[in-house]
Structure 1
Amino acid sequence: MALFGFNVVLTMIVASVIHKLGPHYSFGRWFLTRGLHYYTVPVDSILISHVATHNSETSKKIPKSLPLDSSLYLKRIGPIPLTPMPINYAVILLTFYYKECKWILDLFMAVLFVTLVTFVVYIFNPVWHCSQVNMSSVWIGFIFMYTLIQLYKLSTVYLSSELPKERITLVVLSLFLFVCILAFLPLDGSVFDFKLYLGYIDFINGLLITLTPAVINNTNIHTIDRATVESYVPFKLYLLMIVSIGTYVGFVLVFPVLNYTKLHFETVNDSKGLVLRTLLHINYIFPLVTLTLWFRTIAWNDEALPPNAIPVNPVYRFLLVIVLCCLRLSLFQLHMKTYLARAKDSLNNLRSTKPRVTVGDFKLKVKSIFSFYGGASLQYFGPVIFLTTIQLLYLISSSYLDILDCSQFHKMRDARGVFYLSVYRYPLSFLTWWVLFVLFFVSSAGSLIDAAI
């Protein structure tokens, strides 16, 4: 109990609140349904008037109700008015990935609450931060992995043989991102300020603390040499792990970012206010602005700081990334309105690809847009939640941006330091930069692809 302390109590309380109040009060359900409308096809009596008839005998053969797979053709001219309906709990249950979206958003709010309460408690009692396991990191890591898994499931949809163009785009961009990460890592220290070698040193130190009986048992026997540990876990293997994780992250983010890019330009075209359009453009280029803080010419020189000073540049990086995440989440409703409004243009899109449009094709097209609303929502806020969890993990691994210092405490205590996330501080900083680069690069590639098409 001394190792976990109040973290266990806080975890049990929050878990009980989620279990009891989750079915009745859900942040995810409110976030996905507030102020949004979806479009449905008109009733069959109205839709029949838009069916093409060549003579009186053809009109007599038109049934009074049109099934979903009706093969009757629609008129080639004139739009068909769609009926807007508010999104409520009953209809949103029918959409794909709704439960996953709701669960991620609800758990994300719980994670923010646990992290905030834990930080406030540690401010008043810093010894707990240095001696106890921070359970908020477990909460963050859980939603980190779950969001990554759900984004992977969405990405594998585009690998099917029924979508050859999407599959080629996904494979080509993923391979190019793999080449990019191989090109960027050797530039660490000369062009970029990733400090991955310091992360490797922390990783080796953590292994020494874990594997050396002299540290754990306070004896002087069977001491493990540092060179031996480095020979089994070389720096190249450490970089290979980072390359593998970065490539996987780039793969799962390709199509969410491509779909966001297309949705962004549609939203800009539909928006009329100058302030709103400016905000949308700022939101689009904000990852590029944040990327610049990792360049050596802009990054803060830690050697010039006083011994007990907080490095300013990591604080700026953290704040700008959080601003980016908040900005994108605040524009979620506006982008989803644009996505749902695609149903109004579905008939024109079908007419541009098919010479004759059947009633069944039209109905399926309109219904499919709202049916994939949960997946479209996950593709929009999934990368944002993923990036936020990286920042929260970085916040804890950096001892809350070096506000709480445990270096002196670890020198006097035993191997409890193995539970700390300090070994992940610099890899998480690089992963933050990498996600921002993927957001910017794939968005740029998506805009060029749309312009070429």
Structure 2
Amino acid sequence: MVFLGPQLVITLVMVSLIQKLGPHYSFARWLLCSTGLFRYLYPTNDELRALAGVPKETGKSKSKRSTKHLENGKTAETFHVPRNLDIQLETAPITYLDVIHLKYYTEYSYLLDFALYSGIVYIATELSSLVFHMKGEMNMSIFWCLVVVGFATKLLLSLTTEYFKSEESVGERSTVVVMGFAYLLVAMMVLIVDEERLEVGLDTAYRSFNASACAFLELQGLNSTGPASKIVLKFFMALWCAMIGALFTFPGLRMAKMHWDCLKYCRENFLLRLLLNVSFASPFVAVLLWVRPVARDYLTARVFSGMTEPLMSERVFDSLRVCFVVATVLSRLAAMPVYLQAYLNIAYHRVEQQKKEAGRITNVELQKKIAAVFYYLCVVMLQYIAPLLICLYLTLTYKTLGGYSWLGAPSNVTALDGEPVLSRLADTTDNDSLLHTAEHFTLTLDSLKQIFTTEVLRGFYGFTTWWTCFALFASTSLGMVYQSYFSHA
């Protein structure tokens, strides 16, 4: 295996760029501060007093009130105003000084910037593979992609565990647990579907892995029918799917709420509504591309009248499936500023809704109600981009390790064939010299590597990619049903 090659050079150059340019240029910061986003400013105490006609306290009463607040750990001046107060909120563009102190801003910035660098590394690796012959060289762009997937999953897990730490988040905890078990049931149902209906490739991957592993174990003098049964492997896959579904629950609800608001804001802009709806429904189409009777048999096997051959070949269909998932994720990332502004507008609607209520509210509660929308912005950003990045970089990994190409041409990545190595390994078992022992050790490592063939990796990442698209579609669809129900209630 070659380590000193073009891919290592690309990795080293990118690491150097991260060190030099990272502190000065940030795509995450640009997305928040340079795309026209604006936030709503809460009214000051003086403005509320002037609108409500509340006189300013002076003298002994003010001193007692300030002392009382100091004893409770608060120094803010508190007074009551009517809920139906005619408040006109001012707006201000979001700047770097506004967002740098927000919770989870550092994690959001690291995730999005590193995802961008990883994407550049992947594109450079794909382009260099067209120029240089990389047979036997380690594809280091895969490690960059897997780091992005791991980092995004870890952040989603951190956001989800926040619901289990707070005593006030009983409903959120129950929702996560219920949806986790629901996705577990759905995953177990999906895993028993025949490969002729849903071509996730797990059965083929298991047969290939089991055959290679059995051959390796026999050469080591171990009699085994396989390292694990199919039922056990599918059960652990179902647990993994349940965790992904649980992590995608609240991001899907958040995405549905923002999409619902966006459709209300752009009622007169037909083109924007069409683009938003197409972007929202595209994960469902991506899920259908793995259903063989609907997609592959229809496009690659059926010959329509007036034609002599199907619409596309098997390789072109595989490339179409990968490209469609990538285009789906990129379209949602491109629409991110529209969705984020729809979220920031929640502050305005909260005030408008409050004007229809009776009673009184304290100035502190009113200001918190408006400011909390902006303070929660980076959490919303993570809930929006983390599932998309997981789906995108799993698809890129699936494309590379599965041996696919972008244009449907034969890929230069071929399935690993473990038979020659295993036979050579058997020939070295009768030699006791130091040289043959070293050769035997090297061939053993090669045979371990060849257990995970292209079919095995294609099946695992193919199913994981499909399930991520399914969870993305299912969570947002449930959110839209939720929004529709409460809007008509």
Return the offset for 1:58.
Answer: 7.8
State the AA in 1 paired with 2:278.
I
Cα pair distance change 1:207/1:106, threshold 3 Å: farther
| 8 Å Cα contact 1:38/1:87 also seen in 2 | yes
User: Take 2:41 and 2:245, find their aligned partners in 1: how far apart are those partners?
Assistant: 36
Aligned with residue 90 of structure 2, among 62, 83, 94: 83
Which residue is 1:403 aligned to? 411
Q: Which stretch of structure 1 is more off in the superposition, 116-125 or 347-356?
A: 347-356
Return the offset for 1:372.
Answer: 1.0
TM-score where L is the length of structure 1: 0.87
Return the offset for 1:237.
Answer: 1.9
Secondary structure at the aligned position of 1:269 is classed as: helix
| 8 Å Cα contact 1:39/1:343 also seen in 2 | yes
Give the aligned length. Answer: 435
Return the offset for 1:174.
Answer: 2.0
Which residue is 2:393 aligned to? 389
State the AA in 1 paired with 2:384.
Y
Aligned with residue 281 of structure 1, among 277, 287, 303: 277
**Is 1:327 matched up with 2:327?**
no
- Alpha-carbon deviations, 1:36-86, whole Å to 9, x = none? 111222343322213354xx79899789x9988543122233432222222
User: Take 2:342 and 2:391, find their aligned partners in 1: how far apart are those partners?
Assistant: 24
Q: Unaligned stretches of 5+ in structure 1?
A: 215-221
Which residue is 1:44 aligned to? 45
State the AA in 2 paired with 1:145.
G
**Is 1:161 matched up with 2:167?**
yes
User: Take 1:263 and 1:45, find their aligned partners in 2: how far apart are those partners?
Assistant: 33
User: Take 2:117 and 2:350, find their aligned partners in 1: how far apart are those partners?
Assistant: 39
State the AA in 1 paired with 2:389.
I
| 8 Å Cα contact 1:68/1:364 also seen in 2 | no
Aligned with residue 418 of structure 1, among 438, 443, 449: 449
Cα pair distance change 1:425/1:125, threshold 3 Å: same
Return the offset for 1:448.
Answer: 2.4
- Alpha-carbon deviations, 1:196-252, whole Å to 9, x = none? 11111333355458x5595xxxxxxx4555xx151x311112212211211111111
Identity %: 24
Which residue is 1:217 aligned to? none
**Is 1:25 matched up with 2:34?**
no
Q: Which stretch of structure 1 is more off in the superposition, 41-50 or 150-159?
A: 41-50
Return the offset for 1:290.
Answer: 1.7
User: Take 2:75 and 2:207, find their aligned partners in 1: how far apart are those partners?
Assistant: 63
Which residue is 2:187 aligned to? 181
Which residue is 2:261 aligned to? 266
Which residue is 2:479 aligned to? 446
Q: Which stretch of structure 1 is more off in the superposition, 412-421 or 233-242?
A: 412-421
1:29-428 → structure 2 map (5 Å cutoff): 29-34=29-34, 35-51=36-52, 53=54, 69-126=76-133, 128=134, 130-159=135-164, 160-204=166-210, 207=213, 211=216, 222=220, 224=222, 228-230=224-226, 232-271=227-266, 272-300=268-296, 311-350=315-354, 355-401=359-405, 403-407=411-415, 415=446, 418=449, 422=454, 423-428=456-461
User: Take 2:22 and 2:45, find their aligned partners in 1: how far apart are those partners?
Assistant: 39
User: Take 1:208 and 1:12, find their aligned partners in 2: how far apart are those partners?
Assistant: 39
| 8 Å Cα contact 1:390/1:432 also seen in 2 | yes
Return the offset for 1:90.
Answer: 1.3
| 8 Å Cα contact 1:188/1:195 also seen in 2 | no
Which residue is 2:433 aligned to? none
Return the offset for 1:353.
Answer: 7.5
State the AA in 2 paired with 1:294.
W
| 8 Å Cα contact 2:43/2:367 also seen in 1 | no
User: Take 1:173 and 1:354, find their aligned partners in 2: how far apart are those partners?
Assistant: 37
- Alpha-carbon deviations, 1:329-366, whole Å to 9, x = none? 11100011111111112324456788422100111112
| 8 Å Cα contact 1:310/1:403 also seen in 2 | no
Return the offset for 1:264.
Answer: 0.6
User: Take 2:373 and 2:12, find their aligned partners in 1: how far apart are those partners?
Assistant: 40
Q: Which stretch of structure 1 is more off in the superposition, 310-319 or 293-302?
A: 293-302
- Alpha-carbon deviations, 1:237-296, whole Å to 9, x = none? 221221121111111110000111011101110113011111111122111122111112
Secondary structure at the aligned position of 1:38 is classed as: strand
| 8 Å Cα contact 2:208/2:453 also seen in 1 | no
Cα pair distance change 1:76/1:241, threshold 3 Å: closer
User: Take 2:314 and 2:474, find their aligned partners in 1: how far apart are those partners?
Assistant: 32
Return the offset for 1:2.
Answer: 2.6
State the AA in 1 paired with 2:161.
T
Return the offset for 1:190.
Answer: 4.2
| 8 Å Cα contact 1:68/1:363 also seen in 2 | no
- Alpha-carbon deviations, 1:291-337, whole Å to 9, x = none? 111112124269979xxx75233222111111110110111000111
Return the index of the structure with the highest Cα Rg.
2
Secondary structure at the aligned position of 1:294 is classed as: coil
Secondary structure at the aligned position of 1:107 is classed as: helix
State the AA in 1 paired with 2:458.
R
Return the offset for 1:182.
Answer: 0.9
TM-score where L is the length of structure 2: 0.81
Secondary structure at the aligned position of 1:84 is classed as: strand
Secondary structure at the aligned position of 1:131 is classed as: coil
Q: Unaligned stretches of 5+ in structure 2?
A: 302-308, 422-442
State the AA in 2 paired with 1:30.
W
